[in-house]
Amino acid sequence: MDYYTHIQKEDPDIYGFIEGEEKRQIEGLELIPSENYVSLAVREAMASTLTNKYSEGYPGKRYYGGQEFTDKVELLAIERAKQLFGAKYANVQPLGGANANIALYMALMEPGDTILGMDLSHGGHLTHGHPVTYISKIFNFVRYKMKNIETGEIDYDALRETAKKEKPKVILAGFSAYPRELEWQKIADIAKEVGAYAVADVAHIAGLIAGGAQKNPFDYGFDVMTTTTHKTLRGPRGGMIVTRENEEVAKKIDKAVFPGLQGGPHMHQIAAKAISFREALQPSFKTYAAKVVQNASAMAEVFKAGGVRMITGGTSNHLILADVFGSLGISGQDAEKILDEAGITLNKNTIADDVRKPMDPSGIRFGTPAMTTRGFGVEESKQVAELMLDVLQKRDAATVSKAREAVKALAASHPIPESFV
Ligand code: DSN
């Protein structure tokens, strides 16, 4: 907390809240699979004077003057994004993952057009057309599911039949709670057969793809990828859209992001994205991405040995979805709460075809991106999984307090690193 001297002086209330949150992050274990710790370099860019600047438009074509440096920042972010994913075009302006997805829909569809997306309860995301979203009223979202919840196999035959019947403009492949790798080739082939764009929402796995720990959908013919930049990719909170090679598509996406959806881009955030992309291009990021996956597998092994049912039977990526209600008789909400007391943060989550409600579902979702940034390896990951199981099985004050001490010790011996390069 040496960085916030001005906030401390000018606004002690906010300073206190930041201090509390920082302590929580340092002393606890962050297992929410969509969270991570960014480097100080990324944080400095987020706090830089670039936040003062309006830059509507794109490099070389702005609506306001004074863009000598902002143009350079954005061009460098674009170049690095292209390099990371093997893309010909990149738009680094989306303010978040939802904006990236909405801009994508606006770019490739007209109101009323059909898009196929993964069902939320089977691992998809709200922005993939859940009825509570505004965007679901504009486009016709049709959902597909897993065929086998115990293995995670997607029902590709049903997807193909639905695609032939519904004639979608876009087939969207991606997830926020699916622990396996999708068969990109099968989905790309179906899209080609019905004349749809193949789009991957890789928000959760962008860092694993960039680090070579998971396959790149572009290698299987996908046209576009949307993503956030703050999950496994370990950048600032934000979004991005990369296009493999179709210039016409890339132009439509640019127009949809601005002026279609957003106003002035957040240049401080784009500078921070550029810094994180540089970090992700280093050889050390490959090691990081591989470890994220190894650590998640190690945790899944412990849960399996403890008799806990995991949706899809385990994990091949960074996250695990466990049916704690079915296996241990504790609801997802209660599990989240008691683990929070032990200093382990994760989230309750619905499981496929859950019989319980979203605010008190059967499952918990957890993962290893943040822990791995702290330097946790397989042994420590197993230790954390064992602590979790102990707490979830016994659920008494003594076990929680013992786990909390163990968590503090693990956290203290693996401090959050300041620099990743
Ligand atoms: N909230 C993100 C997640 O946790 O997966 C997705 O938007």
- Window from 118-127, 334-343, 372-381 with minimum mean pLDDT: 118-127
Which tens digit of pLDDT belongs to each residue from 32-70?
A: 999 999 999 999 999 999 999 999 999 999 999 999 999
* Ligand 1 centroid from CA 72, angstroms: 31
Ligand 1 atom at minimal distance to the Cα of residue 32: 4
Average pLDDT over residues 281-310: 98
Per-residue confidence band for 275, with pLDDT thresholds at 50, 70 and 90:
very high
**pLDDT of residue 121 exceeding 90:** no
Instruction: Please report the pLDDT score of residue 149 as a whole number.
Output: 95
Instruction: Please report the pLDDT score of residue 1 as a whole number.
Output: 55
- Give the global pTM: 0.97
**pLDDT of residue 219 exceeding 70:** yes
Give me the DSSP letters along 4-34: -HHHHHH-HHHHHHHHHHHHHHHHSEE--TT
Domain ranges of the chain: 44-280, 284-413
Task: Assign a CATH topology to domain 284-413.
Answer: Aspartate Aminotransferase, domain 1 (3.90.1150)
For residues 223 and 2, which has the higher predicted lDDT (pLDDT)?
Answer: 223
Instruction: Please report the pLDDT score of residue 372 as a whole number.
Output: 98
Instruction: Please report the pLDDT score of residue 420 as a whole number.
Output: 83
- Told to judge if 162 belongs to the known catalytic residues of this protein, a careful annotator would answer no
Q: Quick check: 298 and 378 in contact, CB under 8 A?
A: yes
80, 169, 180, 231: the active-site residue: 231
Per-residue confidence band for 127, with pLDDT thresholds at 50, 70 and 90:
very high
- Told to judge if 365 belongs to the known catalytic residues of this protein, a careful annotator would answer no
CATH 1.10.10.60 fits 44-280, yes or no: no
Which tens digit of pLDDT belongs to each residue from 235-258?
A: 999 999 999 999 999 999 999 999
Average pLDDT over residues 247-270: 98
From the list 240, 213, 212, 207, the residue with the least C-alpha distance to 93 is 240
349: helix, strand or coil: strand
Q: Quick check: 208 and 178 in contact, CB under 8 A?
A: no
- Told to judge if 323 belongs to the known catalytic residues of this protein, a careful annotator would answer no
Cβ of residue 97 lying under 6 Å from some atom of ligand 1: yes
* Ligand 1 centroid from CA 2, angstroms: 30
* Ligand 1 centroid from CA 204, angstroms: 8
Per-residue confidence band for 123, with pLDDT thresholds at 50, 70 and 90:
confident
CA atoms within 13 A on the CB side of 41: 13
Best substitution site from 31, 34, 118 to test ligand 1's pocket, by max atoms within 8 Å of Cβ?
A: 34
Q: If you take atom 3 of ligand 1, which residue's CA is the nearest one?
A: 34
Per-residue confidence band for 18, with pLDDT thresholds at 50, 70 and 90:
very high
Cβ of residue 176 lying under 6 Å from some atom of ligand 1: yes
* Ligand 1 centroid from CA 167, angstroms: 29
- Told to judge if 315 belongs to the known catalytic residues of this protein, a careful annotator would answer no
Q: Given the structure tokens 């991957």, which residue do they identify?
A: 200
* Ligand 1 centroid from CA 279, angstroms: 23
Residue-averaged pLDDT of the chain: 97
Q: Quick check: 51 and 267 in contact, CB under 8 A?
A: yes
Average pLDDT over residues 401-410: 97
Q: If you take atom 5 of ligand 1, which residue's CA is the nearest one?
A: 176
